[in-house]
Amino acid sequence: MPVAPERNERFAAYAHPERLVSTDWLAEHLGEPGLVVLESDEDVLLYETGHVPGSVKVDWHTELNDPVTRDYVDGAGFAALMSAKGISRDTTVVIYGDKSNWWAAYALWVFTLFGHEDVRLLDGGRTAWQAEGRELTRDRTAVTPSDYPVVERDDTAIRAYKDEVLSSIGRVPMIDVRSPAEYTGERTHMPDYPEEGALRGGHIPAAASVPWARAAAEDGRFKGRDELTAIYHDEAGLTPEGDVIAYCRIGERSSHTWFVLTHLLGHTSVKNYDGSWTEWGNAVRAPIATGTEPGSP
């Protein structure tokens, strides 16, 4: 049985307030039947240094990705993973993580590919929990494996592949959520030091630059709806009903933006291009624009 959503004034203006929980709510509901708390971090060891009591770790690299192909796990793999985390199909999953919830949002997006219905983010993530001096423990969480059905992954609604992106240039609004230096292409590689990067710098032609961090307030929590509307609608010109494609470097920061557009602003057709710049910037003949202007398609 899912757990009832939090009723919080602070979330009320968002399109889908039930997708967020506050640190207060989480502290009150820890250990409640039907709730599983997941930590999803960039750093694979951070959970081990101390985590929310009773939470379980999920790792984007070693668990959500297929170990061989550059892709996510398949239906059977996801079912096995969920079972190992004690998650059933109707479990309420609350995800939190480091780096303003990048990896938590990424995990939430992957859960959505499998249609897991009730998955929420802890507003402010690990940083907020820690900043409030709340308990973190190194105790291992005992998990009772659950039954989780094999559900085929559905990539059609919220995931974009390179070919689709290519044919969408000039037709579908795109937002590049990387830092300005990555967008312009000025960031160069130092000789002999391969970064987790690409052979070419710049952005997809006509993509607008809206760095992901603009959606986050100083304390790492999401900005209010009015501020988000000003950034994504008034400034970037997106419309809630229209298609949007978001990308970054490997799809994690753009998952954060995907969450903002879909769940906080109520967009109905946002796709995350998870191949992102590590695919585009390495692909032969993929068109690229450099500089601060989006460029013509």
Partner 1 sequence: MTTPAPALPARLAEIVEEFAELEGADKLALLLELSDELPALPPGLEAGDMEQVPECQTPLYLTVDASDPTSVRLHFQAPAEAPTTRGFAAILHQGLDGESREAVLAVPEDFSAGLGLAQTVSPLRLRGLSAMLTRIKRQLRAAPGV
The arrangement of strands across the sheet holding 119-122 comes to: 20-21, 119-122, 92-96, 35-39, 56-57
Q: Is 112 one of the catalytic residues? A: no
In the complex, minimum distance from the CB of residue 248 to partner 1, in angstroms, rounded to a whole number = 14
> Given 21, 64, 122, 248, which residue is catalytic?
248
Which contacts qualify for 44-48: CB closer than 8 Å, 24 or more apart? Answer: 46/98, 46/126, 48/138
Residue linked to tokens 């930590």: 39
Residue whose CB is less far from partner 1, 31 or 194: 194
Q: Which two tokens stand for residue 279?
A: 């695919």
Residue linked to tokens 């303003």: 100
Residue whose CB is less far from partner 1, 167 or 188: 188
In the complex, minimum distance from the CB of residue 183 to partner 1, in angstroms, rounded to a whole number = 18
Q: Which two tokens stand for residue 34?
A: 């039907």
Residue whose CB is less far from partner 1, 105 or 206: 105
Residue whose CB is less far from partner 1, 70 or 171: 70
Phi and psi torsions of 231, nearest 5°: -75, -55
Tell me the C-alpha distance between 1 and 146, whole Å. 13
Residues found near partner 1 in the complex (CB under 8 A): 42-46, 48-49, 61-62, 67, 98, 190, 192-196
Task: Tell me the catalytic residues.
Answer: 248
